[in-house]
Amino acid sequence: MDIIRNFPAIAILLCLFAGIFSSGLKEKAAGLVNSCLIVIEIGLNLATLLYTISLGDSFVYVMGKFPAPWGNELRVGVLEALLALFFCVIMFLSMWGGKHKLKDEVDPEKTFLYYVLLDLLLSSLLALIYTNDLFTAYVFVEINTISACGLIMIRQNGRTIEAAVRYMIMSLLGSGLLLLGICMLYDMTGHLLMSNIHEAILTIVAEGQYTIPLLIMIALISVGLAIKSALFPFHAWLPDAYGYSTVSAAAILSSLVSKGYIFLLIKIMYRVVGIDIFRNSHITDILFLFGLMGMIFGSLSAIRENDVRRMIAFSSVAQIGYIYMGFGMGTEAGMVASIFHILSHAATKSLLFIAAIGLTEVSDGKRQFIYLTGSGYRNKMSGVTFTVGSLAMVGVPLFSGFISKLLFSQAAILNHGKMLPAMIVLAISTILNAIYFMKTVIRIYTPVPNSPYPPMDLREHWRYATALFLFIVLNVVLGVFSDPIVRLISNGLAMLG
Amino acid sequence: MGANLLANYGEAVAMILFAIGFGNLLIQKNLIKKIIGLNIMDSAVYLFLAEKGYVNGRIAPIVVDGVQSVEAYINPVPSGLVLTGIVVSVSVTALMLSLTIRLYMRYHTLNLDEISTQLRKEGL
Amino acid sequence: MITLLTMLGIPFFFGLFLCCNRNITNRKTLLSIVSLGFVATAVVTVFSWTSLLEQEITVFWLTQNLPLMFHLDRIGLLFSILALVVFLCAGFFSFSYMEHEKKERRYYGFYFLVLAILQGLCFAGNMVTYYLFFELLTLSSLPLVMQENTKEAIMAGLKYLFYSLCGAYFCLFGFYILFQNESTISFLWGGNLLADSIVAHPVLLQVAATCMIFGFSVKAGMFPMHGWLPTAHPVAPAPASAALSAVIVKAGVLGIIRVIYYQFGAFFLQGTKVQTLFLSLSLITVFMGSLLAYGEPVLKKRLAYSTVSQVSYILFGLFLLQGTAFTGSMLHVLGHGFMKASLFLCAGAIIHLTGKTRVEEFTGLGKEMPILLWCFTISSLGLIGIPPTGGFLSKWYLAIGALDSEIPFFSYVGPVVLLLSALLTAGYLLPITVKGFLPGAEFDTEKITKKEPNLWMLLPVLILTVLSVLMGILPNGLLGFLGSVFR
């Protein structure tokens, strides 16, 4: 079974090759290549996951022939494989859910480029998850940014280009800081491989050298990645980017791209700096504070919003706040909660985006709430799915959101200093969440006597309906069988350290 | 402190440049100026890396008259990093420029705030 | 396990079937399906009462230490009986009430769903299960409130939703704190707090208890979170308001019982500020609800305000943390359930037959429909607390319990407030009877024609009224049953 050790590298390279290959293909063929690619990726990552579980430990894959301090490495543990598998599944469902809208959204001549970008995005995500080398991580961060930017602006209108420019500017600020942080790290330790850096940092800290540069480095990297993942004060680009791009792109961007950066931050916390040193730097407190602010202000903006997709986008700001709040607690429990929330948010948010498109579609493409009245009757599947998504976001038991809120609150209770603010903000944010999601659900189920818009025939859009159904299943699975997943996450975290 | 700064003047300059670039990218309204800021920022990082890699009095690790002792060469890795970084920054700059051209053709202005205002008027 | 799942599954299945099946356009088919559903539900539920009592059934584990567990204890049984009886009566009443209403299919669909969820709530064996069904109850009863689909109904529904969700999150917040400090989340009489935690964080636990009780009290319509009740209950169709007012508010009451007696334990809250706070809030609500009802001219709204007041009688009894008062509360749960349902159904019948909604229009009604108005009168007497109805008994026990509890201030102020409120209750209910039977000299009795409602409407009202009287006449079995609950 040792052949499975090659799978992560194959997965990354396969995506890159598929991207290059697709750029010479027509629209249909490129789509086919993309779908096949993601299915293969799911298989590869599943095999990797099973292998790591049976191995009980993480393994290192050496890229090329150079050994440890100089060469480039992948490092694969349970957590990485789990996330990679999950990201592939979400990507697949989001792709299929948005496929029927593609011909309206993107110029047919350029559709193949869309698939190329998706392939590249997937490769960069996988690389971010698996890599053990900081500079490789930086390069793939940039690839990720570029392909995400392309995905935002492939639907050509003024809004998306502006959103893409804003996204690029914020991302570049973030990656500038990240790059500087990595350079400082290299300067201090002389290594680029995460494990070697960690050893070097341990000696540095033990000898008491470089305290200030270390602090500055941690701050630079955290802030850089926080900017890129749209933590609260840096989220200005997000609603436009998610609100106006193609629906699959919005789903993928909100559920995966920001999560890739967040996972990189987790790896840097655990594997490069070491969680104890990171906690002692008190950067966690700042992340905690911003997380809390994001939870409240994101929800408040979402309540004010009159456009369903922008509302969902703003809700992402709040959810990313949750994740950073979990980091900020600086405990193992908080981290597990955050990682579970990464999964649950990815599953729920993409579901909401895909369901929302079905609702707007039966409302003449209009996205303001007033037009959406009664759309739950015109498109039954979307209505039900949106309701499930809302319930999951609000935190009703049996759905994924409940478990992540439970984990967050348990983590908060274990951390005495931060318990009260965390619990209070959690409660406020949940109520705010409930307000805007329930408002929407009621709106889509308020009947209108003679609707001018025709209902959607689900038999014609079976792919869409299946994708929605699978999303619901995914959410319920996360909500009901959370125990093994939480156990995997904590095992994976132990392997990371 | 001061002596350290003087000895490492290259790094100090890099930091100042980084701040200038970062500020420009953040504050400037004009898209082209933003892109220039981006380039300054990136170049500052490369300067920093190059300064780190270079050791006074040593030579590049290119074998000409047979392999000498390790002490004779500078660290080649930062140079490699700089090269990779340049490639990344070039592609990003190209992307930004193309986006800027798109926006300019649509709205005939390079000012991002004005573009936003126009967009709001369009009511998209 | 199978019995339980069938018991929950049958009404749930009927609900879903009716909600989803568009092909039922014929009213007869619809009604026969609904009757079949009612009969099946009744049979299965009665069977599961006998076979499942005091059995713990874990359906599955939500996470390692959060099982979804059902356990029918005696309190749950009491609420389950109430829910089934009221729902059946109001359901059969709807057959003729909903005749001219639109969207009957949807109405019955959600009616079944609510019934299924209520039974799940009564059978719930731990806090998570209870919370799950509590949330579902809010969501599934929402369409009943919004049935009329007018702007007013939708706004009322929204108000209901927001109040309920806020309440539910208060519960959840408290539960998160509680969860870390108790040995198990199952309902055990006397509570299951860890002894260390009681010593280590008493204040924190009291905050948690306050949050949870406060959260459930939203559903029970306690001041200051009573605002949704007088808005939401009257806009629903009369049988639905009967179910809402008589049973669904009791979900909050059951929640509070579970929190106080089965999670924290009465001894933990005895004499704390939490007890004082909630005793005063419930007394304020008792008095204020009656006062508001007294000033309200629309009958259904008046009854809704009366619910606010009467449910707080129950809560007052619970917060006293005393055996006799607890018995009184439980008696009032049943008594108020039957009487309020009967009153709402009477109001519905009057609206259905005459179209009159305001109290002053009811003059001479006793000549038109004497039997109905007699039922109304008997239920009113019960609500006021005049022997031999069930209402007298429950209020008697409440007053005795308050006096026995020896809590300073409340032990004597409580009975006084209860008495005052009873007088007000008489003030707002009896004039309807008096005006109805004795319209006065200037009233033209010649024009009156008999308009007695048909049997579908009359029978449920009669059954409910008789039940409420029977409770007062033959209370011994019930008292023995309740005595075995409070240990």
- Give the C-alpha distances (Å, rounded to integers) separating C35 from A26, C38, C124, C265, C463: 60, 5, 27, 42, 18
Query: Side chain identity at C402, as an amino acid letter?
Result: A
* 3-state secondary structure string across chain C: CHHHHHHHHHHHHHHHHHHHCCCCCCHHHHHHHHHHHHHHHHHHHHHHHHHHECCEEEEEEEECCEEEEEEECHHHHHHHHHHHHHHHHHHHHHHHHHHHCCCHHHHHHHHHHHHHHHHHHHHECEHHHHHHHHHHHHHHHHHHHCCCCCHHHHHHHHHHHHHHHHHHHHHHHHHHHHHHCECCCECCCCCCECHHHHHHCHHHHHHHHHHHHHHHHHHCCCCCCCCHHHHHHHHCCHHHHHHHHHHHHHHHHHHHHHHHHHHHCHHHHCCCHHHHHHHHHHHHHHHHHHHHHHCCCEHHHHHHHHHHHHHHHHHHHHHCCCHHHHHHHHHHHHHHHHHHHHHHHHHHHHHHHHCCCEHHHHCCHHHHCHHHHHHHHHHHHHHHCCCCCHHHHHHHHHHHHHHHHCCCCHHHHHHHHHHHHHHHHHHHHHHHHHHHHCCCCCCCHHHCCCCCCCHHHHHHHHHHHHHHHHHHHCCHHHHHHHHCCCC
| Contact flag C169-A423 (C-beta cutoff 8 Å) | no
**Could you tell me if A190 and A200 are in contact, meaning their C-beta atoms sit under 8 angstroms apart?**
yes
What single-letter amino acid sits at C377? T
SS3 letters across A212-262: HHHHHHHHHHHHHHHHHCCCHHHCCCHHHHHHHCCHHHHHHHHHHHHHHHH
Partners of residue A396 in chain C, C-beta under 8 Å = 132, 135-136
The identity of residue C415, as a single letter, is P
Q: Tell me the chain B residues in contact with residue A142 when contact means C-beta distances shorter than 8 Å.
A: 88, 91-92
Quote the domain boundaries for residue A417.
282-497
pLDDT grade, residue C210 (50/70/90)? very high
- The series of mean pLDDT values per 10 residues for chain A, 497 residues long, is 86 91 86 91 93 88 80 88 92 87 81 90 93 91 91 83 88 91 88 89 87 89 91 84 85 88 91 86 88 91 89 91 89 90 92 89 81 82 89 85 88 81 86 86 78 74 88 90 88 83
Distance CA C118, CA C90 (A): 15
Measured between CB atoms, does A187 come within 8 Å of chain B? yes
Does the beta-carbon distance from A176 to B34 stay under 8 Å? Answer: no
A241-260 residues touching B, CB cutoff 8 A: 244
Q: Quote the number of domains for chain A.
A: 1
**A467/B contact by beta carbon, under 8 A:** no
CB contact under 8 A, B103 and A162: yes
C431 Cβ contact list (under 8 Å, min separation 6) = C359
Between residues 84 and 123 of chain B, which touch chain A (CB distance below 8 Å)? 84-85, 88, 91-92, 95-96, 99-100, 102-103, 106-107, 112, 115-116, 118-119, 122
**Does residue A235 lie within any of the structural domains?**
no
Q: Which two tokens stand for residue A319?
A: 């959810």
Q: Using an 8 Å CB-CB cutoff, list chain C residues near A413.
A: 176-177, 180
Give the pLDDT of residue C254.
93
The ipTM of this complex is 0.91
- Residue A75, beta-bridge partner list: A60
Separation in Å, CA A211 to CA A51, A202, A217, A281, C388: 40, 12, 10, 10, 83
Tell me what pLDDT residue B115 has: 85
d(CA A334, CA A332): 5
Helix (H, G, I), strand (E, B) or coil at A62: strand
- Answer for the pair A129, A75: CB distance below 8 angstroms, yes or no: no
Give the Cα separation of A237 and A229 in Å (integer).
11
Say yes or no for a CB contact (<8 Å) between C172 and A486: no
Dist CA A482 CA A340 (whole Å): 9
> Measured between alpha carbons, how far is A481 from C463 in angstroms, rounded to an integer?
46
Give the number of A-C residue pairs with CB atoms closer than 8 Å.
67
- List the domain range (segments joined by +) for residue B47: 2-122
Contact C60 A480 (CB under 8 A): yes
3-class DSSP state of A121:
helix
Q: Can you tell me whether residue A368 is helix, strand or coil?
A: strand
Q: Considering only A157-166, C246-255, C392-401, which range has the smallest mean pLDDT?
A: A157-166
The domain that holds B46 is classified in CATH as: 1.10.287.3510
Please judge whether A482 and C63 are an interchain contact, meaning their C-beta atoms are less than 8 angstroms apart: yes
Q: Identify whether C388 is preceded by a cis peptide bond (ω within 30 of 0).
A: yes
Within-domain flag for A428 = yes
Which of B51, B96, B108, B120 to probe the A interface (max A CBs under 10 A)?
Answer: B96
Average pLDDT, chain C: 87
Nearest CA in chain A to B22: A173
**Cα dist. A495→A195, A200, A278, A491 in Å?**
12, 19, 18, 6
Asked if C60 and A427 come within 8 Å (Cβ–Cβ), the reply is no
pTM passes above 0.95:
no
Report the pLDDT value the prediction gives residue A341, as an integer from 0 to 100: 93
Asked whether residue A273 is assigned to any structural domain, the reply reads no
What distance lies between CA C478 and its chain's CA centroid?
18
Number of domains observed in the structure of chain B? 1
What are the tokens at C422? 């009873």
Looking at residue C308, what is its pLDDT? 92
Task: Look at residue C446 in the predicted model and tell me its pLDDT.
Answer: 65
Taking the C-alpha atoms of residue A345 and residue A111, their distance in angstroms, rounded to an integer, is 28
Q: Read off the pLDDT of residues C47-59 as tens digits, 9 standing for 90 and up.
A: 888 888 888 888 8
Q: What span, in angstroms and rounded, lies between the C-alpha atoms of C173 and A427?
A: 7
Q: Give C309's pLDDT tier (boundaries 50, 70, 90).
A: very high
Q: What is the pLDDT of residues C424-433, one digit of tens each?
A: 999 998 888 8
Give residue B2's pLDDT: 63
Q: Which two tokens stand for residue B60?
A: 């590049």
Stretch C460-465: mean pLDDT, rounded?
90
> Length of chain C, please?
487
Q: Which residue has the tokens 């090269």?
A: B83
pLDDT of residue A63: 83
A210 interfaces chain B, CB cutoff of 8 Å? no
Q: Give the number of other CB atoms < 10 A from CB of residue C484.
A: 9
d(CA A193, CA A157): 42
Q: Do B41 and A186 touch (CB under 8 A)?
A: no
Q: Which of C87-96, C146-155, C342-351 has the lowest mean pLDDT?
A: C146-155
Tell me, yes or no, if A157 comes closer than 8 A to chain B by beta carbon: yes
Q: Do chains A and C touch (3 or more CB pairs under 8 A)?
A: yes
pLDDT for res A472: 92
Q: Identify which of A121, A75, A129 has the alpha carbon closest to the alpha carbon of residue A95.
A: A121
* A57, A100 contact by CB (below 8 A): no
pLDDT digits (tens, 9 = 90+) for C273-294: 899 999 999 999 999 999 999 8
